[in-house]
Structure 1
Amino acid sequence: MSAPSERLAYNEPTWLDTVAAWVLALLWILPLAYAFWTAFHPAEFATRFDLTAPLTLDNFRRAWAAAPFARYFLNTTLLVTMVLAAQLVLSTLAAYAFARYRFPGRNVAFALVLVQLMIMPDILLVENYQTMAKLGLVDTLLAIGLPYFASAFAIFLLRQTFMGIPKELDEAARVEGAGPLQTLWRVYVPLAKPVYTAFALVSISFHWNNFLWPLIITNSPSARPLTVGLQVFSSVDQGVDWSVITAATLMSCAPLLVAFLLFQRQFVQSFMRAGIK
């Protein structure tokens, strides 16, 4: 008698699930739709819906001229790239040590890493600023990214992934003459690609949109990212021009939106394979 085939459990969504999904989708899409409407129409149509309203790109031109957006885009790109590179290197080494090496205090050290997940970054603003000031890094991109170089979230994800990799692969790599770093690079890292992709999405999104810490640690446009640069539009003495503000906001989030639309399938598959819900 043949064994029954194993199937993944799947429950058909109920009408209540469908309604809830539509409600959540509308709650998410309505502010974005309003932002697009306001950005592509003259200011007098920002508060009223008129299908005969003319389309215009003047709001984007005014927003681009009001702030050094080219510099802000460059700063933000350099920042997220620098932070992600440091996080991947440091977290990979730490996760590999926690997963495969036994040393005194390993469990205590990993518990301290997990404790970091419970601490809100805003609590450390004063201490981080004092540290950056002592190092002479205030108003630099390095000061924005340095406190985030070590990611407890990435260490936890990669450690769990590395622990699930059979140890026989380590032995096979040693037989072939590979050292610890070669084993890590050629065996562990390729098998953890979905986790790296999923974490990269989380890291880039967070640091692209981070506002409070960059606002505190920077003083000049030469080091400010996009999120801090947007505040120039809320300090106008003559009032707030929502058309220009929404145009500037769309320009700042456009790279993330375009990337998600182009690589939506890869994004979802990476999160599913990484076990992130």
Structure 2
Amino acid sequence: MHLAKLKISRWLLYIFALLWLVPLLWMTVTAFRPKQIALSPSFSLEFTLHNFATVWSAAPFAQYYLNTVIIVVCVFGVQMITATMAAFAFARVSFFGKNVVFLLFLVQIMVPADVLIFPNYTVLKELSLLDTKLGIMLPYFASAFGIFLLRQMFKTIPPELDEAATMEGYSRWQILWKVYFPLARPSYIAFGLVSVSYHWNNFLWPLIVTNSVENRPLTVGLAIFAQSYEIGAQWTEVSAATLLVIAPLLVGFLLFQRQFMNSFIHSGIK
């Protein structure tokens, strides 16, 4: 009975996976097909790279890529520092009201980022940071999810290591970066994957705070490209542009799929 249920569950997973793949496969095939037969129901082995050449020359995707990489790398870099220090404080440092403060951090996980768009926009306007890369990044420099994930990992590290490091003359700062940081590598991988994928795909906030090509990320650039008068409903160009945007994440997932799954398993995320 149990084996039968397991087989049914496995087949359901396969079916849902295929349903998820249908739009991705359709988009990929359309991106490589000639425009005149793109929507034809008949199968053809005729493929072309002309759509990608058209897209790359019609919009500044090179600039969009650069902007996105800068934003993603800088946000994760700052998050790693802030989340590491906060998680270490919640895991190993005793101070008044620690549990209450930690609960306040956990509440932030349940607050959708879109709810904070108006107050964040007002703050950026007062700081004259609208239409800047720093303005896009600033609200995400602290991550409640990252703090929670690293704090749980740090609490699994034996306190005896702290005592041994202290006897060796290490300060708390040195203990954090020379003991805890290396041991928490799976959690950093898991957090990094979540952070990079989220900010690579982030759309609404960058759309609101950016107006120039020099600061727009890929998602906003793709939306403007797809809605432009010149492109209209030309599915081949739109599909090619979409594939350009999501290709790095797809390639990264396919290359590091095993590390992706293992990092979450070791981090305690079931």
Q: Place the TM-score, normalised by the shorter chain, in its bin.
A: over 0.9
Residue 250 of structure 1 aligns with which residue?
243
Pair 134,12 (structure 1): closer, same or farther in 2 beyond 3 Å: farther
Per-residue CA deviation, residues 91-123 of structure 1 (Å, 9 max, x unaligned), is 000000011111112111111101111110101
Aligned AA (1:32): L
* C-alpha separation in 1, matches of 2:261 and 2:53: 35
SS in 2 for 1:14: helix
Residue 184 of structure 1 aligns with which residue?
176
Residue 65 of structure 1 aligns with which residue?
57
Residue 75 of structure 1 aligns with which residue?
67
Per-residue CA deviation, residues 190-236 of structure 1 (Å, 9 max, x unaligned), is 11100000000000000000000000000011000000000123323
Aligned AA (1:117): I
Q: Larger deviation: 166-175 or 232-241?
A: 232-241
8 Å contact 1:158–1:195 — kept in the other structure? yes
Alignment gaps of 5+ in structure 1: 1-10
1:44 corresponds to 2:2: no
Residue 14 of structure 1 aligns with which residue?
6
Partner of residue 124 from structure 1, selected from 110, 113, 116: 116
* C-alpha separation in 1, matches of 2:44 and 2:94: 70
Residue 275 of structure 1 aligns with which residue?
268
Per-residue CA deviation, residues 154-179 of structure 1 (Å, 9 max, x unaligned), is 00011111111111110000011111
* C-alpha separation in 2, matches of 1:237 and 1:95: 49
Q: Larger deviation: 158-167 or 147-156?
A: 158-167
SS in 1 for 2:122: helix
TM-score by length of 2: 0.95
Residue 5 of structure 1 aligns with which residue?
none
1:230 corresponds to 2:230: no
State, as a whole percentage, how many aligned pairs show the same letter: 53
TM-score by length of 1: 0.93
Residue 150 of structure 1 aligns with which residue?
142
Pair 156,245 (structure 1): closer, same or farther in 2 beyond 3 Å: same
Q: RMSD over aligned Cα, in angstroms? A: 1.5
SS in 1 for 2:77: helix
Q: Larger deviation: 98-107 or 203-212?
A: 98-107
Residue 165 of structure 2 aligns with which residue?
173
* C-alpha separation in 2, matches of 1:121 and 1:106: 24
Q: Larger deviation: 92-101 or 17-26?
A: 17-26
* C-alpha separation in 1, matches of 2:35 and 2:101: 56
Alignment gaps of 5+ in structure 2: none
Per-residue CA deviation, residues 133-169 of structure 1 (Å, 9 max, x unaligned), is 1111110111111100000000001111111111111
SS in 1 for 2:170: coil
Instruction: Determine which structure has the larger helix proportion and give its number.
Output: 2
* C-alpha separation in 2, matches of 1:167 and 1:272: 23
